[in-house]
Amino acid sequence: MDALLLSAGYGKRLRPITHEIPKPLLPIVDRKLIDINIEKLLSQGVERIYINLYHRADKLSAYLKGRRNIKWAIEERLSGTGGALLNFCSVLKRDFLYHSGDVISAINIQRLLKFHLKKNGIATLALLKNPGTNFIELDGYRIRKIDAVSHRSYYTFSGIAIFSPRIFTYLPAKKKFSIAEVFERIIKNGEALWGLSMSMDWYNINTHRAYWKIHYDILKRKKNLFGNKIKGPMYIAPSSNVASRKFSGFVSIADNCYIHKDVKLKNVIVLPGTEVENGNFKDCIIGNRFCIRAR
* Co-location of 220 and 247 in the same domain: yes
* Co-location of 55 and 151 in the same domain: yes
Domain stops at, among 204, 233, 249 = 204
Q: How far apart are CA 185 and CA 74, in angstroms?
A: 26
Q: pLDDT tens, 111-146?
A: 999 999 999 999 999 999 998 888 999 899 999 989
Domain stops at, among 147, 170, 204 = 204
From residue 14, give the alpha-carbon distance in Å to each of 63, 145, 209: 21, 30, 9
* Co-location of 143 and 277 in the same domain: no
* Co-location of 248 and 182 in the same domain: no
* CB-count exposure of residue 48 (10 Å: 0-12, 13-18, 19+): middle
* CB-count exposure of residue 19 (10 Å: 0-12, 13-18, 19+): middle
Helices 57-64 and 33-43 pack at an angle, to 10 degrees, of 40
* Co-location of 288 and 146 in the same domain: no
> Taking a C-beta distance cutoff of 8 angstroms, is the pair 83, 176 a contact?
yes
* Co-location of 47 and 93 in the same domain: yes
Give the residue from 203, 183, 201 showing the smallest Cα distance to 193. 183
Phi-psi domain of 69 (left: phi exceeds 0; alpha: psi -120 through 50; beta: other): left
* Co-location of 94 and 25 in the same domain: yes
Q: pLDDT tens, 77-114?
A: 989 999 999 999 999 999 999 999 999 999 999 999 99
Q: pLDDT tens, 5-17?
A: 999 988 889 999 9
Strand pairing of 48-53 and 70-74? parallel
Strand pairing of 96-100 and 31-32? unpaired
Confidence category of residue 260, pLDDT binned at 50, 70, 90? very high
Strand pairing of 202-204 and 241-242? unpaired
* Co-location of 148 and 265 in the same domain: no
Q: How far apart are CA 97 and CA 36, in angstroms?
A: 16
* Co-location of 114 and 259 in the same domain: no
Q: Quick one: the chain helix, strand, coil %, rounded to 5?
A: 25, 30, 40
Reported pTM = 0.94
Which spans in the chain are helix H? 17-20, 33-43, 57-64, 80-83, 109-119, 179-188, 208-215
Strand pairing of 2-6 and 96-100? parallel
* Co-location of 121 and 216 in the same domain: no
Lowest pLDDT segment from 11-25, 33-47, 224-238, 243-257: 224-238
Residue 144 belongs to domain spanning: 2-204
* CB-count exposure of residue 221 (10 Å: 0-12, 13-18, 19+): exposed
* Co-location of 213 and 242 in the same domain: yes
CATH assignment of the domain containing 95: 3.90.550.10
Looking at the 3D structure of the chain, how many domains does it have? 2
Q: pLDDT tens, 182-240?
A: 999 999 999 999 999 999 999 999 999 999 999 999 999 887 777 767 777 999 999 99
Q: How far apart are CA 51 and CA 70, in angstroms?
A: 8
* Co-location of 97 and 195 in the same domain: yes
Strand pairing of 156-163 and 246-253? unpaired
Domain stops at, among 184, 204, 224 = 204
